[in-house]
Amino acid sequence: MEFWSTSPRVEQLRARLLAFMAQHIYPNERRFFSEAERNGPWAVNSVTEELKPMARAAGLWNLFLPDATQGAGLGNFDYAPLCEVMGRSLLAPEVFNCSAPDTGNMETLHRYGSEAQKRRWLEPLLAGKIRSAFAMTEPEVASSDATNISTSIVRQGDEYVINGRKWYTTGATNPRCEILIVMGKSNPGEANRHQQHAMVLVPKATRGVTVVRPLPVLGYYGVPDRASEVWLEDVRVPVDHMLLGEGRGFEIAQGRLGPGRIHHCMRLIGLAERCLERMCRRTSSRTTFGKPVADQTVTLERIAEARISIEQARLLTLKAAWMMDKVGNKAAMQEIAMIKVSAPLMAERVIDWTIQAFGGGGTNDDHFLGVAFATARLLRLADGPDEVHRNQIGRLELKRHHQTDPAATGGGGEVLSREEARALAAANRWPPPDSARITQ
C-alpha cells in the first residue's frame, strides 16, 4: 500500500502499462534475448520493432518527456512508478521509447537544441524512427572527471573539426543510431575548467566517424548495453551543429544527467522487485534437507533485507524525483547522487541473492538473472562511478554544516577549552580520589 497519492491519470497509465507488460513484454522476453544473442550488437531486433507501434497505439509512448505537447507531460514524481514498471524487463524501455541513452539525449535536444536541431533530430527520435548515442567517455583519460575529456572541437570557418577517441558509447553499433552527441574541448585556453568543453551534434554518417568495435559488458554484447568504441578523425560538421554554445558543455551535462540518472534508479527498483518475486517463488518451490529453501532462516533473512532495501531505495527515489519537480535538478543534486549510489548497490545485492537462491541455474540466462546482474553492476559505473557521487554527497553535506550555526543545532565539533575540561573533570570527580589510586 502506498501512503503518497498518485494522480488518477498516473494510476490509469500504470494499469495500462501493467496490462501491456503482461500481454506483450513478458511473453516476448525469451525471443528478445535469443534475437539479441543471435543477431549481435550490429543489428535491429525485430521483436522490439514489432512491439513499438503497439505501445504507441496504446498511448504508452514517450512517457518520460515532461513536455505535454510532445510527451506525456509528467513530472519526475509521476513518471517514477511508470518507469519502475518498465524497468522490470530489459526489453520494455525501448518498446515504450523510454530507454537510455535516447531519453537523456532527447531531453538534451528538447532543453538546449535550436528549433532547426529539434526538427532534424528530436522529432524522429520522439517518433522512434532513429536512435542516438552520447559520446563523452574516452579510453585515454580518466573520464569520471569529465574535465579531462580531450577530444578537440576546433572552429574552422563555418565548420567545427572534431578529433578524438571515444568508448563505452552506448548505442552506436545500432544501425538505427543516426546521431551522436559528442562532448569535447572547444575552449582549451579558458581558465575555468568547467567552461572548456562543448557538446556538438555529429551525424553518425559523417565522414571520419568510425564505430570501431562493440565492447562487451561483463561478457554481454547488445543486452544490457550496446557499448562501443568510436573514433572521430577530422570530422567536420557545420557550426549550427553546436548545442547551446562553445564552452557550455558542463551546463548541458548538469541538465541532462539529473533525469537520466534517476530514470536508471527507477528502472533498477522495478528490476530488483521482480527478482525478489522470483526469489520468493523459487525458494518456496524447492526443498532441501527436509524443508523448502524459503523456510531456511538465511533465505528469510535475505528476503526481508531485500524488501527493506527496495522500499528504502524507492522512497529515496521518490524524494529525489519530488525535489527535482519542486526545486529543480540543481537543488536536488545531493538526492540524485544519493540514489545513484544506493539504487544500483541495492539492486546488485538483491539480484545476487536471487542468483544464489536459484543455484547453478541462476548464473545462466534461463531466468535472465545473469544479465540482470550485469545491468545493476554496470550502473555503478555508467553516469559516473559510485566514488565520484559519494564525494559529491560528502562535500554537499560538509557545505551544509558549514552554513549552519552549531549553537542552534547542537552540531558543534569544537575542542573543549581548558577551563571546560577542568570543570568536567571536577564534576566527574576525576582524577580519582587518593583512596582509589593504586599504590605500590
Ligand X SMILES: Cc1cc2nc3c(=O)[nH]c(=O)nc-3n(C[C@H](O)[C@H](O)[C@H](O)COP(=O)(O)OP(=O)(O)OC[C@H]3O[C@@H](n4cnc5c(N)ncnc54)[C@H](O)[C@@H]3O)c2cc1C
Q: Is the CB of 123 or the CB of 387 nearer to ligand X?
A: 387
Q: Is 348 in the site for ligand X (CB under 6 A)?
A: no
The stretch near ligand X (CB under 6 A) out of 21-29, 133-141, 154-162, 277-285 is 133-141
264 alpha carbon, distance to own chain's centre: 3
The C-alpha torsion from 85 through 378 and 390 to 269, rounded to 10°, is 10
- The answer to whether residue 345 forms part of the interface with ligand X (CB under 6 A) is no
- Choose which of 225, 246, 251, 335 interacts with ligand X (CB under 6 A): 225
How many other C-beta atoms are found inside a 10 Å radius of the C-beta of residue 419?
8
> Does 229 engage in binding with ligand X (CB under 6 A)?
no
Q: Which residues contact 282 (CB under 8 A, 6 or more apart)?
A: 293, 354, 357, 358
Which listed residue (391, 397, 400, 411) binds ligand X by CB under 6 A?
A: 391
Burial class (CB in 10 A: 0-12, 13-18, 19+), 432: exposed
Q: What is the DSSP letter of 329?
A: T
Place of cell 527520435: 125
Question: What CA–CA distance (Å, rounded) separates 423 from 427?
Answer: 6
CA distance 423 to 103: 63
Choice from 32, 64, 134, 220 touching ligand X (CB under 6 A): 134
| Closer to ligand X by Cβ: residue 295 or 387 | 387
Of 136-144, 255-263, 294-302, 352-360, the segment contacting ligand X by CB under 6 A is: 136-144
Q: Which is nearer to ligand X, 54 or 218 (CB)?
A: 218
Question: What is the x/- site pattern for ligand X, positions 164-203, by CB under 6 A?
Answer: ----xxx---------------------------------
Helices (H), 21-159: 29-39, 46-57, 76-87, 92-95, 102-112, 115-117, 123-126
Determine the Cα–Cα distance for residues 190 and 212; give it in Å rounded to an integer.
32
User: Taking CB under 6 A as the rule, does residue 287 contact ligand X?
Assistant: no
Residue 258 neighbours by CB under 8 Å, 6+ apart: 324, 329, 332, 333, 336
- DSSP annotation of 182 reads E
Q: Which of 21, 217, 271, 343 binds ligand X (CB under 6 A)?
A: 217
Nearer to ligand X, 58 or 381 (CB): 381
Residue 273 · residue 88 · CB < 8 Å = yes
In the list 384, 389, 392, 393, the residue contacting ligand X (rule: CB under 6 A) is 384
Question: Is 93 a residue that touches ligand X (CB under 6 A)?
Answer: no
Is position 230 an interface residue for ligand X (rule: CB under 6 A)?
no
Q: How far is the CB of 380 from ligand X (least distance, A)?
A: 8
> How many residues bind to ligand X according to rule CB under 6 A?
23
Shortest distance (Å) from residue 183 CB to ligand X: 7
CB of 195 to ligand X, least distance (A): 20
Member of 39, 70, 114, 144 binding ligand X (CB under 6 A): 144
C-beta closer to ligand X: residue 228 or 299: 228
Residue 302 CA to residue 188 CA, distance in Å, equals: 51
Q: Is 388 an interacting residue with respect to ligand X (CB under 6 A)? A: yes
By CB under 6 A, is residue 13 in contact with ligand X? no
The 3-class SS string of 190-218 reads CCCHHHCEEEEEEECCCCCEEEEEECCEC
Q: 322: how many CB neighbours lie within 10 A of its CB?
A: 17
250 lines the binding site for ligand X (CB under 6 A): no
Query: Which uninterrupted H or E stretch holds 156?
Result: strand 152-156
Stretch of residues binding ligand X (CB under 6 A), selected from 41-49, 142-150, 260-268, 422-430: 142-150
Beta carbon of residue 340, minimum distance to ligand X (angstroms, whole number): 11
Interface positions with ligand X (CB under 6 A)? 101, 134-137, 142-144, 168-170, 217, 225, 227, 378, 381-385, 387-388, 391
